[in-house]
Amino acid sequence: MELDRNSTILVAGAGGFIGGHLVGRLLSDGFECVRGVDLKPLQEWYQVHPEIDARQSDLRIRENAYDAMENVRYVVNLAADMGGIEFIEENKALCMLSVLINTHLLEASRDTDVERFFFSSSACVYAAERQVEPNVVALKESDAYPAMPEDGYGWEKLFSERMCRHFREDFGLETRTARFHNIYGPYGAFRGGREKAPAAICRKVAEAKRYGESCIEIWGDGEQTRSFTYIDDCLEGLLRAFSGEFVDPINVGSNELLSINQLVDIVEEIAGVSLERNYMMDAPTGVRGRNSDNTLIQEVFNWQPSVTLRKGIELTYRWVSDQVANSRPTFFG
């Protein structure tokens, strides 16, 4: 489906990492009427685009979701209370309360004749028992069932996927869902507990280099594996899924699997340093291994992520390093 660039598109979570990048992509693609909504005050948004209708609003409140939907034709829901593995494990109830956002946006979309609705799901919907080895078998979409997702955040995502499906089946609302796998890039959280592994490691290495430290902390033994997806690939996959006719959840993720230790190697090479590693064995690490099976997205859209990890991490490190140069150290934790 060709999206009408003159119609209003609502980006829920526009103040977040992915949301800020998506708004920029929509503007560069010629969308004239972009409305961005986020819980955070505007000055706390990761990216601020003055061309859009930017609003601070709590979409967990039903009335606010309806207010945000005025004259909206398309909805992209990226809004959620989430962060890195420590935040997710310590804030399960807060993560699950994000279900209110998606539920209210679905209701408002149904009642205002929204044409198409996108929900951003996560690889956390997959069962931990399929992710117990570093050399993990890549996760295909059908592996989400029988259901036993990551507690809290994963359950909210899987439940919201089902809500989208049933609103499509029962009310005719065209919904689309993508499962994002470890999205990273510049203009996002790089400290404070909300950051993901690539940004955290870039920050630790950049701080160590700047302040002359010889050692950084690594959570776990560093042998846990992941595939990381650069933000530009995430946006391309999102827009293909959103505008396409495939209705079931689909993976949007790189299949370039590597360990955290290997990720540190890459960041050190980019930074031009070699550091000792203090392995924090009592720190949260999540599942032992996770990778994306891209068979389905290749079959449906003849596409899969293409930005290499080396290239994406280089871009991310340069940005994080600039932020570190203009801020106070966090003592390398």
Mean pLDDT for the chain overall: 95
Q: Among residues of the chain, what percentage have pLDDT more than 90?
A: 93
Give per-residue burial for 45-84: e unless 16+ CB within 10 Å, then b: bbbeeeebebbebebbeeebbbebbeebbbbbbbbbbbbb
The pair of structure tokens assigned to 238 is 């999102």
Domains (range + CATH), the chain: 8-183+230-252 (3.40.50.720), 186-227+256-325 (3.90.25.10)
pLDDT at 85: 86
Match 């595939």 to its residue by tokens: 227
pLDDT tens for 219-246 read: 999 999 999 999 999 999 999 999 999 9
3-state SS, residue 200: helix
Mean pLDDT over residues 308-322, rounded?
97
- Claim: this prediction has a pTM higher than 0.75: yes
pLDDT at 252: 98
pLDDT at 333: 47
153 labelled catalytic = yes
pLDDT tens for 172-204 read: 999 999 999 999 999 999 998 889 999 999 999
Bridge partners of residue 217, in order along the sequence: 278
pLDDT tens for 287-306 read: 999 999 999 999 999 999 99
Bridge partners of residue 11, in order along the sequence: 36, 76
pLDDT tens for 143-161 read: 999 999 999 999 999 999 9
Is pLDDT at 332 greater than 50 in this prediction? no
Residue 238 CB partners (closer than 8 Å, separation 6+): 22, 76, 118, 120, 178, 252
Asked if 306 contacts 225 with a C-beta cutoff of 8 angstroms, the reply is no
**CA 17: distance to chain centroid?**
8
Asked if 17 contacts 183 with a C-beta cutoff of 8 angstroms, the reply is yes
pLDDT at 277: 97
pLDDT at 271: 97
- DSSP string of 99-145? HHHHHHHHHHHHHTT-SEEEEEEEGGGS-GGG--SSSPPPBPGGGG-
| pLDDT-based confidence at residue 321 (cuts at 50, 70, 90) | very high
The Cα–Cα gap between 220 and 86 comes to 12
Residue 331 is classified by DSSP as T
Angle at 252 between CA 16 and CA 12, to 5 degrees: 30
Q: Among residues of the chain, what percentage have pLDDT more than 70?
A: 98
pLDDT at 139: 97
Give per-residue burial for 183-201: e unless 16+ CB within 10 Å, then b: bbbbbbbbbeebbbbbbbb
Q: How many CA atoms lie within 13 A of 17 on its CB side?
A: 24
pLDDT at 330: 56
Asked if 46 contacts 16 with a C-beta cutoff of 8 angstroms, the reply is yes
Neighbouring C-beta atoms of residue 256, cutoff 10 Å:
17
Per annotation, catalytic residue among 46, 74, 126, 153: 153
State yes or no: cis peptide before 284, omega within 30 of 0: no
The pair of structure tokens assigned to 312 is 């994406």
- Burial grade of 284 (CB within 10 A; 0-12, 13-18, 19 or more): middle
The pair of structure tokens assigned to 273 is 């340093």
Strands (E), 39-81: 53-56, 72-77
